[in-house]
Amino acid sequence: MNINFEDISYLQYGTIRQQQAFRVLTAHQIMQKLNKFQPILAGTIPLNIDIPESDLDIICCWRNEEDFINTLIKTFEKTAQFEWHKTTIRNELSIICNFMLEDFPVEVFGQTIESNKQMAYRHLLIENQLLKEKGESFRKEIIRLKETGLKTEPAFATLLNLQGDPYTELLKFEKQIT
């Protein structure tokens, strides 16, 4: 079964953690509040490779930097541990907002790149396919590596024996998942 990762409704039928994520995101109407920025939940929770400290990674696309920042501040400034900053990632201005929502750390990540073309979403699709192909022991080994402190993409690169930058090396699997 192929999952439409652009619609979080699949979470309500997933693992307990995915169901909790769905409940929190819907109860607080997070995707609706970010709707004009093409929000997509990426990261490890959708793939069931999360560890206890994993956050809800919501990627967004903004056209107007000030509008995006103002929306983040207006919408989330009263949440616990709220903070935001600008940075440049792979030559792309990125705005990152972090806060706590119930028991979940949340990261809202925005760039001017369409959400479904951002690296995080492309990795989500590739990693989902690899997890399907490689099976349960591979999934458990990814989690084990993450528990030792590795980030997700380096964990995949380690198991797949990829050399170089794991974030770009993983993209080489993209043509295999069309």
User: Rounded to 5 degrees, what angle do the CA atoms 174, 11, 157 make?
Assistant: 35
Task: Say what the pLDDT of residue 1 is.
Answer: 61
Using the predicted structure, report yes or no on whether residue 178 has a pLDDT greater than 60: no
- Is residue 25 situated within a structural domain? yes
- Is residue 1 situated within a structural domain? no
- Is residue 3 situated within a structural domain? no
Q: What does the block give as tokens for 161?
A: 């024996």
What are the pLDDT digits (tens) for 112-140? 999 999 999 999 999 999 999 999 999 99
Domain that holds residue 62: 8-177
- Is residue 53 situated within a structural domain? yes
Task: Say what the pLDDT of residue 120 is.
Answer: 96
Number of domains in the chain: 1
CA trace torsion 36, 37, 43, 46 (10° rounding):
20
The model's pTM: 0.95
- Is residue 41 situated within a structural domain? yes
CATH number of the domain that 114 lies in?
A: 3.30.460.10
What are the pLDDT digits (tens) for 27-74? 999 999 999 999 999 999 999 999 999 999 999 999 999 999 999 999
Computed over every residue of the chain, the mean pLDDT equals: 95
Task: Say what the pLDDT of residue 177 is.
Answer: 61
